[in-house]
Amino acid sequence: MAQYAVLIYERVPAEDLPKEIMDRHIGLPELIASKGGKVTAGLALQPNETATALRGDLVTDGPFVETKEVLAGVYLLEARDLDHALACAKLTPIVEGGVEVRPLVDFQVVAD
């Protein structure tokens, strides 16, 4: 199975997410497993204000760009193909935002 990152972009800070949404995140690995996929990791990020950006030798506090939606977390999942990964990603609970699905590079295959 191929591996994908599901990047979660949200306008609502994690600490302000309704309990119903948090409960759906907790149950997401089981739901995706029922669809034939597998969540291998799920990570929530600290608020955007805690970010430190690096651009060459320049270090700045906070995010580099102003946006309404911020990267709030990521799931790593295994799916048969991109269509399957997209179907699984559509199950991600979002209040005001969306998700981005990106295939991961398997460096063992690249090195061979």
pTM of the model: 0.85
**pLDDT of 63 above 60:** no
Phi, psi for 19 (deg, rounded to 5) = -55, -40
Which of 56, 62, 59, 26 lies closest to 42 in space, CA to CA? Answer: 26
So what's the pLDDT on residue 65? 59
Query: CB of 8 within 8 A of CB of 17?
Result: no
Range of the domain at 35: 2-107
CATH number at residue 102: 3.30.70.1060
How do residues 3-40 score in pLDDT, each as one tens digit?
999 999 998 887 888 999 999 999 999 999 999 999 99
Within-domain flag for 54? yes
**Count of structural domains within the chain:** 1
Within-domain flag for 112? no
Within-domain flag for 94? yes
Quick one: what percent of the chain has pLDDT higher than 90?
Answer: 62
Query: CB of 62 within 8 A of CB of 51?
Result: yes
Distance separating the N- and C-terminal Cα atoms of the chain: 18
